[in-house]
Amino acid sequence: MSDPTGRVFDALADPNRRFVVEALAERETATATELAAELPVTRQAVAKHLAALNEAGLVESRREGRETLYELTPGPLAAAMDWMASVGAEWDSRLARLRTHLDSSRKRRS
């Protein structure tokens, strides 16, 4: 799965990971232990989630002394939003085409 959009959706599919993303959107940085304190799971679980988010390009890590700071990099969110927007747009334009087609046939009939 090298598709970047797919990795983003996969990353956001987990509720704990979404919580982490929300938390990182408010604080500027956080460590795995800090985040684990607000979640019903262990530090290692959070670390795995952060690794997954990093894999998706949503988070970057930097080591500061004995602790590792994680920071949000919301760039890939835009790509995922683009995908949804394009699906919605295709759907809309299909509806529009259908509507004009119905209009023209109605006009022809009247």
Footprint on this chain of its own copies (rule: CB under 8 A): 1, 3, 5-6, 9-10, 12-13, 15, 18, 21-22, 25-26, 28, 72, 74, 77-78, 80-81, 83-85, 87-88, 90-91, 94, 98
Q: Which two tokens stand for residue 85?
A: 């927007």
User: How big is the chain by its Cα radius of gyration, in Å?
Assistant: 21
Residue 41 or 87 with smaller CB distance to its own copies: 87
Binder of residue 25, out of its own copies, DNA, none (CB less than 5 to 8 A by kind): its own copies
CA distance 2 to 21: 22
Q: Is 31 in the site for DNA (CB under 7 A)?
A: yes
How many CA atoms, within 13 angstroms, populate the side-chain half-sphere of residue 7?
15
How do beta strands 67-72 and 29-30 pair? antiparallel
Which residues sit at the interface with DNA, rule CB under 7 A?
A: 13-14, 16, 31-33, 40-45, 47-49, 52, 61, 63, 65-68
